[in-house]
Amino acid sequence: MTQGLCAGGASGPAAQSAAAAQSVPVLRGQTLYQARCSGCHAVDANDIGPLHRGVLGRRAGTVPGFDYSPALRASRLVWTRQTLDAWLRDPEALVPGQGMDEQVLDPQERQDLIVYLASLL
Ligand code: HEC
């Protein structure tokens, strides 16, 4: 009976599994964020680095009250999945003279981090 329900294709279970599939990378990204980013960043407060809520789609270097490097402020970048990936891979290659001393070399880790950042609406 339980099996019948699971295989039945009702919208409830299907929607649940879609939500679960989406949340796994978000959770992986959140764990990575705690380990790799939270020493300098927080979601809702400026710290050594700027706050991150709403970063996807924002112009680089524009969080109010954060003292950015002149290089990042002048970069005219917009944070998309592509620019975030390039930034996390090698910030200095993307914006020479920037001020973030951290790189994420593993493409899967960057992907998970970006999914997490994108979830911070
Ligand atoms: C050692 C401290 C440090 C760590 C660790 C760090 N950051 Fe940063 N981050 C900074 C600083 C400082 C800046 C501002 C750089 C500038 O002004 O040039 C920054 C800027 C950024 C920006 C640009 C934000 C904006 O408003 O334009 C993003 C995105 C970002 N960091 C993501 C991350 C992520 C994701 C991680 C974890 C993998 C991380 N950072 C780890 C210090 C850090």
- Determine, yes or no, domain membership for 5: no
> What pLDDT does residue 7 have?
47
Higher pLDDT, 3 or 19: 19
Q: How far is the CA of 76 from the centre of ligand 1 (A)?
A: 16
- Determine, yes or no, domain membership for 4: no
Q: How far is the CA of 111 from the centre of ligand 1 (A)?
A: 16
For the CA of 51, the nearest atom of ligand 1: 26
- Determine, yes or no, domain membership for 24: yes
Q: Is 41 in the pocket of ligand 1 (CB under 6 A)?
A: yes
Helix (H) or strand (E) holding 94: helix 91-94
Measured over all CA atoms, what is the biggest interatomic distance in the chain, rounded to whole angstroms?
A: 64
Q: Is 98 in the pocket of ligand 1 (CB under 6 A)?
A: yes
The structural domain count of the chain equals 1
Q: Report residue 78: phi and psi, to 5°.
A: -115, 135
* Mean pLDDT rounded to a whole number for the chain: 89
> What pLDDT digit, counting tens, does each position of 88-108 carry?
999 999 999 999 999 999 999
Q: Is 60 in the pocket of ligand 1 (CB under 6 A)?
A: yes
Structural domain of residue 49, as residue ranges?
12-118
- Determine, yes or no, domain membership for 113: yes
> What pLDDT digit, counting tens, does each position of 61-75 carry?
999 999 999 999 999
> What pLDDT does residue 38 have?
98
Banded model confidence at residue 3, pLDDT cuts 50, 70, 90? very low
The Cα–Cα gap between 3 and 63 comes to 51
Percent of the chain, pLDDT > 90? Answer: 79
Mutate to test the pocket of ligand 1, among 52, 102, 110, 117 (most ligand atoms within 8 A of CB): 102
> What pLDDT does residue 25 have?
87
> What pLDDT does residue 20 have?
55
The Cα–Cα gap between 37 and 50 comes to 11
Write the CA distances from 37 to 15, 31, 52, integer angstroms: 32, 10, 10
> What pLDDT digit, counting tens, does each position of 18-34 carry?
555 558 889 999 999 99
pTM of the entire predicted model: 0.87
